């Protein structure tokens, strides 16, 4: 690595968290947050909103695949700027949108930036942070989604109706956060195969770097199902609260903050995986998310139950995405950034399909019915957890390996 100072290492974690906050929590999930205002402004239906969200998710996949190639070819810094640049450009287009078509293009480009953020930051943390605390650092950076969601909720509270100014602010924040993370990363001059963890020979290491898909089948299926089930809250959650629940913008803004704040606690996912194991951590996260979705569908007009539901979902969703990071790194340790990109593409493909299907269900049977379907998908995702017989023991941060009980 270029340098390994503690100052650089400690500064990268908050800077990386800020990049995830703006690319995921604001530029990507901001569409769902501002959907009630956007529907009023442009007259879009639930099906149209689902299609726009799905397009954004698919654009994310393309950017993630491109970033995966760049990281694999020793260009993680370019991937980081691809993330921040597309998030900024798309947010600026949304802020200036004069028609549904322009809005859709802006949402598509803005949402694509997050696809490059994850593999770029996984590579940045790996290159910069000490191995003893890397797992925890990766989880904390990943929890930035929650910080972005909190910021979005606060914007709704402080600037009700001024969604164009909010999206303009997203563009500025995307560039500032990306610059900060770039300056605090000890970018490697080369990605060395011998740096891989727990590989017995270079041939196995290079094979893992070339073809991670072969070892990622089970977590990839889990990611697709989890993404499809999570799409309901991210795309239509606030619409459910303001529509079926008849809650005010102020109340829903506060509830969205609860979702984001709980997501920040999802930064503990590294410790959860180390202590509970991948199988239990995954199954537990998606089960909690499913219960939260059902509770939200049952009581969208009651602030306390709705707040508990959103908090539970926010925590569970960030944990499950953190589990995917650990799962990919555990299956393919020589190519952790590429594995992260593959699994997050799977998560997003699921979100795209979920947004389309749930949007259609909402138009025909109502939003609560679509949320019931989303909960069912999350429960199915729990069955894709790592089998007991194949799960290796994990070591908690700074501790010794725990006995394998999975």
Residues 115-135: what's their mean pLDDT? Answer: 87
pLDDT of residue 98: 93
Q: Is residue 156 part of a domain?
A: yes
* C-alpha to C-alpha distances, 142 to 24, 129, 300, 325, nearest whole angstrom: 10, 15, 28, 9
Structural contact between residues 121 and 20, judged by C-beta atoms closer than 8 angstroms: yes
Residues 306-316: what's their mean pLDDT? Answer: 93
Whole domain around residue 176: which residue ranges? 6-188+210-390
Residues 237-255: what's their mean pLDDT? Answer: 87
DSSP annotation string for 307-376: HHHHHHHHHHHHHHHHHHHHHHHHH-GGGHHHHHHHHHHHHHHHHHHHHHHHHHHHHHH-HHHHHHHHHH
Q: Which residues of 139-173 are buried (b: 16+ CB within 10 A; e: fewer)?
A: bbbbbbbbbbbbbbbebbbeeeeebbebbbbbbeb
d(CA 278, CA 330) in angstroms, rounded, equals 9
pLDDT of residue 175: 97
Q: Is residue 382 part of a domain?
A: yes
d(CA 128, CA 385) in angstroms, rounded, equals 31
CATH number of the domain that 58 lies in? 1.20.1250.20
Mean pLDDT of the chain: 83
pLDDT of residue 191: 43
Which pair of structure tokens corresponds to residue 111?
Answer: 């949402």
In the structure, what pLDDT confidence band is assigned to residue 124 with cuts at 50, 70 and 90?
Answer: very high
pLDDT greater than 70 at residue 1: no
Q: Is residue 326 part of a domain?
A: yes
Of residues 144 and 89, which shows the higher confidence score?
89
Of residues 269 and 332, which shows the higher confidence score?
332
In the structure, what pLDDT confidence band is assigned to residue 181 with cuts at 50, 70 and 90?
Answer: very high
- pLDDT, one tens digit per residue, over 185-205 is 988 664 444 444 443 444 444
- pLDDT, one tens digit per residue, over 48-102 is 888 898 888 889 888 988 988 898 777 889 999 999 999 999 999 999 999 999 9
Weakest mean pLDDT among 1-10, 64-73, 328-337:
1-10
Residues 36-47: what's their mean pLDDT? Answer: 86
Q: Is residue 66 part of a domain?
A: yes
Weakest mean pLDDT among 9-23, 86-100, 101-115:
9-23
pLDDT of residue 113: 92
Q: Is the dihedral of CA 361, 366, 372, 374 positive or negative?
A: positive
pLDDT greater than 80 at residue 270: no
pLDDT of residue 83: 96
Q: Find where tokens 């429960």 sit.
A: 379
- pLDDT, one tens digit per residue, over 160-177 is 778 999 999 999 999 999
Q: Is residue 194 part of a domain?
A: no
Task: Please state the pTM of the whole predicted model.
Answer: 0.74
- pLDDT, one tens digit per residue, over 361-401 is 888 888 889 999 999 999 999 988 877 644 444 444 434 33
Q: Is residue 105 part of a domain?
A: yes
What is the end-to-end Cα distance of the chain in Å, rounded?
36
pLDDT of residue 298: 93
Q: Is residue 193 part of a domain?
A: no
* C-alpha to C-alpha distances, 404 to 95, 279, 280, 321, nearest whole angstrom: 51, 11, 12, 23
Of residues 3 and 277, which shows the higher confidence score?
277
Return the top range by mean pLDDT from 27-31, 271-275, 289-293, 385-389: 289-293
> Which residues lie closer than 8 Å to 355 by C-beta, 6 or more apart?
50, 51, 53, 54, 57, 231, 235
Q: Is residue 55 part of a domain?
A: yes
pLDDT of residue 402: 39
Of residues 267 and 238, which shows the higher confidence score?
238
Tally the domains of the chain.
1
């Amino acid at each position: 690595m270029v340098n390994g100072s503690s100052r650089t290492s400690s500064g990268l974690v908050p800077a990386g968290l800020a990049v995830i906050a703006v690319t995921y929590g604001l530029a990507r999930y901001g569409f769902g947050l501002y959907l009630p205002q956007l529907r009023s402004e442009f007259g879009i239906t639930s099906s149209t909103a689902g299609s726009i969200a799905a397009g954004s998710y698919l654009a994310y996949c393309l950017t993630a695949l491109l970033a995966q190639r760049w990281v694999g070819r020793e260009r993680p810094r370019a991937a980081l700027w691809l993330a921040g640049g597309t998030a900024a450009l798309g947010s600026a287009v949304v802020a200036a949108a004069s028609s549904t078509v322009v809005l859709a293009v802006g949402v598509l480009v803005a949402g694509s930036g997050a696809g490059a953020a994850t593999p770029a930051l996984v590579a940045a943390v790996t290159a910069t942070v000490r191995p003893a605390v890397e797992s925890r650092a990766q989880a904390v950076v990943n929890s930035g989604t929650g910080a972005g969601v909190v910021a979005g909720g606060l914007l709704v509270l402080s600037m009700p109706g001024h969604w164009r100014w909010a999206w303009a602010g997203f563009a500025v924040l995307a560039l500032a956060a990306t610059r900060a993370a770039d300056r605090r990363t000890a970018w490697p001059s080369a990605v060395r195969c011998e740096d891989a963890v727990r590989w017995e020979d270079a041939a196995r290491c290079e094979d893992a770097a070339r073809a991670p898909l072969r070892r990622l089948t089970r977590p990839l299926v889990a990611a697709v199902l989890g993404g499809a089930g999570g799409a309901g809250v991210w795309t239509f959650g606030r619409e459910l609260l303001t529509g079926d629940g008849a809650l005010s913008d102020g109340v829903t803004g506060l509830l969205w903050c609860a979702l984001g704040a709980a997501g920040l606690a999802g930064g503990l996912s590294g410790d959860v995986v180390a202590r509970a194991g991948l199988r239990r951590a995954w199954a537990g996260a998606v089960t909690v998310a499913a219960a939260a979705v059902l509770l939200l569908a049952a009581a969208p007009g009651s602030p306390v139950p709705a707040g508990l539901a959103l908090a539970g979902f926010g925590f569970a969703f960030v944990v499950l995405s953190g589990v995917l990071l650990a799962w990919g790194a555990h299956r393919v340790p020589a190519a952790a950034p590429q594995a992260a990109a593959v699994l997050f593409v799977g998560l997003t493909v699921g979100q795209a399909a979920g947004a389309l299907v749930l949007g259609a269900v909402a138009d025909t049977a109502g939003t609560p019915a679509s949320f019931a379907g989303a909960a069912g998908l999350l429960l199915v995702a729990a069955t894709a957890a790592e089998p007991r017989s194949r799960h290796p023991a994990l070591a908690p941060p700074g501790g010794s390996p725990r006995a394998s009980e999975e």
